[in-house]
Amino acid sequence: TRRGVPEAILAEGKTPTETADLAATSVETTRRAVVTRVDSETAQAVEAGLPDPVDIDYDERARTLVAHAPDFDAPALDATVAVVTAGTSDAPVAGEASVVAREMGATVEWLEDVGVAHLGRILDVLDPIRAADVVVVAAGREGALPTVVAGLVDTPVVGLPVSTGYGFGGDGEAALAGMLQSCTVLSVVNVDAGFVAGAQAGLVARAVDAARSGEGSN
């Protein structure tokens, strides 16, 4: 776990058995396994392959599986990450971001379905977004939500483009381009890179936590 970022296992492109073996080794050596892009068949193989007693949390929508050995010493940061999604199809990618930030020890505030075409909804959830130390905003299609959110908060925002949309600019390209062109201040990760967005937010949370505990003042 360099920088506190857990080594995650990407299940996509591996057989259930390969993934299960890697997860078992990870639990053995680090007392934890974080697996992403897991379908239900793979989840079963992983669960079957892990020793007892292990605490397993499989999130079907986010397609993530996290396993903690009883003696795993979970990090706990005094810092909050808000994860905001534009629509239901952004949930899996945003879910990855959420899991990673949580495993890095941050408190995660999840705020979903905050579409840019319904401004009322954004205003409703503004308080919990503003209360967080750093915000991840996932959006597909035209990807305008991170810009709107960054115009309303005081904290760093990480834009997470999602590969929805079709035709010209589809597959997340319009969303990525829109976030890079944003007329507000944002930084961005690659299309569908939920893991990276969550980990970057986690790194900010770690910096804030360290400052809160009195580390590192100049």
Ligand X SMILES: Nc1ncnc2c1ncn2[C@@H]1O[C@H](COP(=O)(O)O)[C@@H](O)[C@H]1O
CA angle 62/63/67 to nearest 5° reads 105
Q: How far apart are CA 181 and CA 206, in angstroms?
A: 28
Q: Does 150 bind a second copy (CB under 8 A)?
A: yes
**Binding partner selected for residue 88 from Mg ion, a second copy, ligand X, none, CB under the kind-specific 5 to 8 Å limit:** ligand X
Ramachandran region, residue 18 (left: φ > 0; alpha: ψ -120 to 50; beta: rest): alpha
Q: What is the distance between the terminal CA atoms of the chain, rounded to a whole angstrom?
A: 27
Interface pick for ligand X out of 54, 77, 81, 195 (rule CB under 6 A): 195
Instruction: Find out whether 193 and 94 touch, Cβ atoms under 8 Å.
Output: no
Q: Does 188 bind Mg ion (CB under 5 A)?
A: no
Please report how close the Cβ of residue 22 comes to ligand X at its closest, in angstroms: 7
Segment near ligand X (CB under 6 A), from 5-13, 54-62, 119-127, 210-218? Answer: 5-13
Of 193, 171, 182, nearest to 145 by C-alpha is: 182
Between 16 and 143, CB nearer to Mg ion: 143
In 61-125, DSSP assigns E strands to 64-68, 80-85, 107-111
Please report how close the Cβ of residue 65 comes to a second copy at its closest, in angstroms: 20
Interface pick for ligand X out of 9, 45, 114, 153 (rule CB under 6 A): 9
Please report how close the Cβ of residue 33 comes to ligand X at its closest, in angstroms: 11
Q: Which of residues 135-164 bind Mg ion (CB under 5 A)?
A: 139, 141
Instruction: Find out whether 62 and 91 touch, Cβ atoms under 8 Å.
Output: yes
Q: Does 97 bind Mg ion (CB under 5 A)?
A: no
Q: Which of residues 18-57 bind ligand X (CB under 6 A)?
A: 36-37
The residues that touch ligand X, with contacts defined as CB under 6 A, are 7-10, 36-37, 88-89, 96, 193, 195-196
